């Protein structure tokens, strides 16, 4: 028997698609004479990067990184580990980090420093969600989808114990 949970919709599918298209259009404008490298941060951003790239109307390159600071927990351990590194040399290239969610800011801060050491021409951040929590590290997000409350969100690539990534909306599990 499937487990019964109460998922509340925070951002519906239509609203997501609308915002993702606007972010893609803005990136197209800002990089119209460039060929940026989109670096998707796995696993959570895989749906976001697949959708946003369809709205970017210039040539782009793709690469992927996987980092871990959560494991299977709902709270960050504070230790960031790269579990899959880039296959592409980004030296002298315009880079856009595609992130699913900014929480404490620690992981993004670590990623930016790590990528800066590889001498790209530029680094910008595109984050679908920005959680309203006190930051452990400040970051500049040039392309931001939504500000969200301090809830553990799932869907559209985000998971709870590797479940619910396939939901077509952003939701949260109601605390009982």
* Closest to 153 measured CA to CA, from 134, 126, 173: 173
**Is 175 noted as a catalytic residue in this protein?**
no
E strand or H helix at 162, and its extent? none
**Active-site residue, selected from the candidate residues 51, 94, 100, 103:** 103
Q: How many whole angstroms separate alpha carbon 123 and alpha carbon 129?
A: 18
Q: How many whole angstroms separate alpha carbon 28 and alpha carbon 58?
A: 6
Q: How many whole angstroms separate alpha carbon 38 and alpha carbon 86?
A: 11
Q: How many whole angstroms separate alpha carbon 104 and alpha carbon 134?
A: 7
Q: Which residues are designated catalytic?
A: 103
């Amino acid at each position: 028997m499937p487990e019964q949970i109460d998922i509340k919709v925070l951002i519906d599918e239509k609203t997501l698609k609308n915002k993702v298209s606007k972010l893609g259009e803005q990136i197209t404008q800002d990089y119209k004479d460039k060929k940026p490298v989109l670096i998707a941060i796995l696993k959570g951003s895989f749906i976001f990067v697949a959708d946003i790239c369809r709205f970017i109307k210039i040539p782009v390159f793709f690469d992927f990184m996987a980092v871990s600071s959560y494991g299977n927990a709902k709270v960050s351990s504070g230790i960031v580990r790269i579990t899959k590194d880039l296959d592409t040399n980004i030296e002298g290239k315009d880079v856009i980090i595609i992130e699913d969610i900014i929480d404490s800011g620690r992981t993004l801060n670590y990623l930016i420093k790590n990528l800066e050491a590889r001498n790209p021409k530029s680094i910008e951040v595109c984050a679908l969600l920005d959680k309203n929590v006190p930051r452990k590290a400040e970051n500049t997000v040039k392309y931001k989808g939504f500000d969200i409350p301090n809830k553990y969100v799932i869907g559209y690539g985000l998971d709870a114990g590797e479940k619910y990534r396939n939901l077509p909306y952003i939701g949260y599990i109601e605390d009982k």
